[in-house]
Amino acid sequence: MKKVLQNKSIQQKVDELLSKMTLEQKIGQMTQADRMTCSPEQAKHYHLGSILSSAGSCPDDNSPKGWVEMNDAYWQASSHQDSQHIGIPIIYGLDAIHGNNNVKGATIFPHNIGLGAANDPKLIKHIAEVTSKEVLATGVDWAFAPNLAVARDYHWGRSYESYAEDPNLVTLYAQKMIETLQGKLKQDNILACAKHWVGDGGTQYGVDQGDTILSWEELQATHIQPYKAAIKAGVLSIMVSFSSWNGDKCHAHKFLLVDILKQKMGFDGIVISDMQGIDYLEDDFYLAVAQGVNAGIDMFMVPRNWQLFIDNLLSHIELGTVSISRINDAVRRILSVKYAFGLFDKPRPAKRKWSNHPSFGCDEHRQVARKAVRKSLVLLKNSNSILPLKKHARILVAGKNADNIGHQCGGFTVNWQGVSGNEEIVGGTSIWQGIQKVATRSELSINGDGLEASPELHDLAVVVIGETPYAEGMGDIRGDDKIITEAGSQINGQVKVLRASGDSLELNKLYPEDLQTIKNISNKGVPVIAILVSGRPLIIEQELLASSAFIAAWLPGSEGQGVSDLLFGDYDFTGKLSFSWPTLSQTKVNKGDKHYNPLFPYGFGLSYYLK
């Protein structure tokens, strides 16, 4: 793809537009507000360049129809031309990180950790195609995806957003995802956003928004590598990481943002901040604004305080603490991307080809997600070839995650922290429902605890265990809050601390009911097939020992019947671990480590027919 800042026809249009713009209009383009804090009239008045929906922020009618109507109102307001308004369409963004996951009825794909286990670049292209269509169905142009984190410590609450601990797989997927999402930047495509630049998966102790302490060579080899592929694939936006590198916050890191990303690597799209990302640079937000702009950020995700951001930036320009040339550079990048994407030529959202398209959440899309589930599951244990199961077997299905589509979708689904139950995920299938469809003699445990298990009534049991939903820092595992104090003391700026989801990677300490359910059943002589629903590998020695078979299902998304496709042998297991499995003595384990001794190594995965 021809670089947008070198495209003469685009730059002629940008030059013409820039020459007409007031300072207020330029700063407006650099500002991204949330729909909850900014009406279409305000977006017009302040000349805003972008609106976003943070996770869970949606119109009252959380359907494609409601989204299109909302987007149409913003588009019309921002495109209006008069003596005060130049008429630049806003670009609307959201976190479509495993399908268009904000919207009810969307196809929800497995989270990235499962897709890494699938090790299938063609599948990634199909997922990107479906995601594009389901985002476009809502009138939206921009997805804050893919996440190119290389997660190196499972204590991190965003581990499931990473494809692999190996940067090579992340690099391969980055190219496929971006090439397909953006395509030829026509009506069938959306803008991609590679995130988070850079090193978010390498923080000390796995603390979200923490400090990645690495040499420049190590940062390049592990965390920068995927971004080279993203830029080569033509990605038009990159989001900055909340994390720090050797104590210096990425949001204020001119070396990383300008010297490396923009100049050395040649990225000429939009550098966008993360959610309120500049707030933590300084105690005084006024000073933080100048730091972020001068460090090279072009667009600012400031959903809560966007008006203050505008006022402060105007003041900085007046005082000379931010140069007008830096403003012009940022706005040039934003306008260039909008022109390259054809935003000025597109019809309003209500009139677009894919808006309200009947393919949203359709069976064809769900079949792609179902295939993704099949390819992502990893078989860790299969004693005496108990799997595959017979469809006429008497099966007890138990465990808290057996009939809970919300749990199997994980975080960033309908709401930021995900949901529980089956009501919020319209059109999905739980793992139990998938089993029930093909095994007519299966039975769901009444309370999920398996106490009704009996060898006279049940040949075996499928027990679906594991984590409940979380997102970002609220998924962190921290044994001791001294970790935060230690990490924070090394970072220049503030550290945002969220309540951790637990204090141990041991499944039995996080969710003791899981092992109890397995024992309730196995102690009665009924063999157990355990299925782990989780956003990361957990320490599972006890659960593994008490089960006859064990499957890592990750966070499979809305299509639970993909699990039963494998359980009953309609398909074989092909998933291989893209993360090494930890043990009590080695909770942080990555291939290539000096004393590498995981429970299961990177690339491990059993199958039925290959011994």
pLDDT tens digit string along 100-157? 999 999 999 999 999 999 999 999 999 999 999 999 999 999 999 999 999 999 999 9
| Residues 447-457, mean pLDDT to the nearest whole number | 98
The residue type found at 269 is G
**34: part of which helix (H) or strand (E)?**
strand 31-34
The amino acid at 289: V
For residue range 519-567, what is the model confidence (pLDDT) as tens digits? Answer: 999 999 999 999 999 999 999 999 999 999 999 999 999 999 999 999 9
Helix (H) or strand (E) holding 16: helix 8-20
The pLDDT assigned to 56 comes to 85
Q: Over 80: is that where the pLDDT of 186 sits?
A: yes
pLDDT for residue 488? 79
Model confidence at 481, in pLDDT bands (50, 70, 90)? confident
pLDDT in tens, 339-361: 999 999 999 999 999 999 999 99
Q: Which helix (H) or strand (E) holds 372?
A: helix 363-376
What pLDDT, on the 0 to 100 scale, is given for residue 93?
98
Is the pLDDT score of 234 beyond 70?
yes
| Catalytic residue IDs | 274, 472
Is the per-residue pLDDT at 316 higher than 70? yes
Residue type, 109: F
Order of strands, sheet of 194-197, starting from the edge strand that comes earlier in the sequence: 194-197, 237-240, 270-272
Is residue 611's pLDDT more than 70?
A: no
> What percent of the chain clears pLDDT 70, i.e. is strictly above it?
99
* Domain 4-351 matches domain 377-468+511-567 at the CATH topology level: no
| pLDDT for 2 | 63
**What residues contact residue 610 under an 8 Å CB cut-off, 6+ apart?**
none
Nearest to 24 by CA among 325, 335, 315: 315
Q: What is the mean pLDDT of residues 86-106?
A: 97
Q: Look up the CATH superfamily of 4-351.
A: Glycoside hydrolase, family 3, N-terminal domain (3.20.20.300)
| Averaged pLDDT score across all residues of the chain | 97
Domain 377-468+511-567 top-level CATH class:
alpha beta
Provide the pLDDT for residue 610. Answer: 63
Q: Is 143 helix (H, G, I), strand (E, B) or coil?
A: strand
481 versus 294: the higher-pLDDT residue is 294
Q: Name which of 140-154, 170-184, 485-499 the model is least confident about.
A: 485-499
Residue 37: burial class (beta carbons within 10 Å; 0-12, 13-18, 19+): middle
Mean pLDDT value of segment 29-33: 98
**Whole-number Cα distances in Å, 370 to 131, 163, 201, 278, 376:** 14, 18, 28, 39, 10
User: How remote is the C-alpha of 177 from its chain's centroid?
Assistant: 13
- Percent of the chain whose pLDDT exceeds 90: 95
pLDDT of 211 higher than 90: yes
Which of helix, strand or coil describes residue 539?
Answer: strand
**What are the structural domain ranges in the chain?**
4-351, 377-468+511-567
pLDDT, tens digit (0-9, with 9 covering 90-100), for 367-379: 999 999 999 999 9
State the DSSP code for 109: P
Confidence check: pLDDT of 445 > 80: yes
Can you give the pLDDT at residue 92? 98
DSSP-derived secondary structure for 191-234: B--EEEETTGGG-GGG-TT-EE---HHHHIIIIIHHHHHHHHTT
How far is residue 228's CA from residue 221's CA, in Å, rounded to a whole number? 11
pTM: 0.98
pLDDT band at 456, cuts 50/70/90? very high
Give dist(CA 142, CA 236) in Å, integer: 10
